[in-house]
Structure 1
């Protein structure tokens, strides 16, 4: 972990003892997540997510490019994220900084949850087979880190992709015309499903506390010895399971986390869709199907 929060022994014991009594410093119960706040920027596909004091901004853009030879009828998608000292003073940017491992882990989680899970129908991004396709780029900026950047990042990506609209393209005789927003209403992306991520923290055996803690804060994440991330859909389809850390989780503990995540996914997904629909209706563009 790159976070180097100064948590002394007394504070650690206090936090662990509180968790044993199903209490946390911010007043939540063990399996209670912080409320998600969604703000939209002026451009379509620009979204800022607030998860407590954790803040992530995501923006989506598109360009026209040639498809890969292996998949001539599929568009392309890329996800990039940036951690800096603005996120928290303990991060150091650059090749010699200490954020490389953290950025790599976040990028892997986002790639598996969004791109590799097939959230966006990439065949629908084809303009002319074998010649021109849309390339979708998602960029995330982690503005503030108060733990659980994975869930905040996944939520930011999902909201931005639902909110984004690409120019309508018409093909006549092999020639492509790209219409501006003034000429024609931009087109939403073809979405297959809505990924929702849930992160659980676990503590070492010396703490004599074996319960899962949902949506850990930065302090809780620093004290934990393992994390377990479940990415699912409102239809209870499991997309990814990821564990980091050395603690061995029992099969029952894993199943409990999966069941909790699948039960909560519909509520979180509805919250995201409602927020996106409300903003699109204000713009008179139309909501998400």
Structure 2
């Protein structure tokens, strides 16, 4: 009898998943009408969150954040570079955003997701335009040496 219930539960789960994929708007509307999210949380409830600093020992700084079933890893690596001729008194930042195939059905194995380069550029533009990082403060010796900060961010969604 337990086996029958187990297969019945699996069948129901498959039906719900098929409905969610075929009719995503109706699927979410049904949950909104009940004031509950698809994962059974109330609309005002936050997902469980954890943060671990120093998750990657080989970097100058890193953090592993988990919000519900989403996991993000961010790390920074510093390197000394020769400043460009155009900006001899500034350092530089390079941002890489990585989306593995587990992240989305749109991401295919073997090549970077198209959205990843767009997100990398948006992050870089946002950080630089916000004034969070002053590239002049990354200069060590004008025209000779400056910091290059490599920021890497990965997103995982099981």
TM, length-normalised to structure 1 = 0.41
What CA deviation, in whole Å up to 9, does each residue of 1:143-177 have, x standing for no partner?
Answer: x227xxxxxxxxxxxxxxxxxxxxxxxxxxxxxxx
Q: Establish whether residue 138 from structure 1 lines up as the match of residue 151 from structure 2.
A: yes
C-alpha deviation, 1:49, in angstroms: 1.2
The answer to whether residue 64 in structure 2 is matched with residue 52 in structure 1 is no
Shift of 1:55: 0.6
Q: Does 1:29 align with 2:43?
A: yes
Question: How many residue pairs get matched?
Answer: 137
For 1:114 and 1:37, how far apart are their aligned partners in 2?
24
Match of 1:62? 78
Residues 161-217 of structure 1: CA deviation (Å, up to 9, x unaligned): xxxxxxxxxxxxxxxxxxxxxxxxxxxxxxxxxxxxxxxxxxxxxxxxxxxxxxxxx
Distance 1:33 1:109 in 2: 26
* Partner of residue 38 from structure 1, selected from 44, 51, 54: 51
Structure (1 or 2) with the greater helix fraction: 2
Moved over 4 A (4+): 8-12
Cα distance in structure 1, aligned partners of 2:26 and 2:104: 25
User: Where in structure 2 are the equivalents of 1:159-178 lying within 5 Å?
Assistant: none
Which residue does the alignment assign to 1:105?
Answer: 118
Q: 1:14 to 1:86 in 2, by over 3 A?
A: closer
CA deviation after TM superposition for structure 1 residue 10, in Å: 6.2
Q: Alpha carbons of 1:8 and 1:131: their partners in 2 closer, same or farther (altered >3 Å)?
A: closer
The 5 Å alignment of 1:190-201 reads none
SS of match in other structure, 1:58: strand
Q: Bigger radius of gyration, 1 or 2?
A: 2
- TM-fit CA distance, 1:25: 2.1
Q: Is the 8 A contact 2:102 2:157 kept in 1?
A: no
Contact 2:107 2:113 (C-alpha < 8 Å) held by counterparts? no
Q: State the SS of the aligned residue for 2:130.
A: coil
Q: Which residue of 1 aligns with 2:89?
A: 73
Instruction: Describe the superposition over 1:111-156 as per-residue Cα deviations: whole angstroms up to 9, x where unpaired.
Output: 23324423122211111011110111011222x227xxxxxxxxxx
Pair 1:117 & 2:130 matched: yes
Is 2:65–2:72's contact at 8 Å kept on the other side of the alignment?
Answer: yes
Structure 1 unaligned segments of length 5 or more: list them.
Answer: 147-289
- Equivalent residues of 1:78, 1:115 under 8 A apart: no
Q: Please name the residue that 1:199 is paired with.
A: none
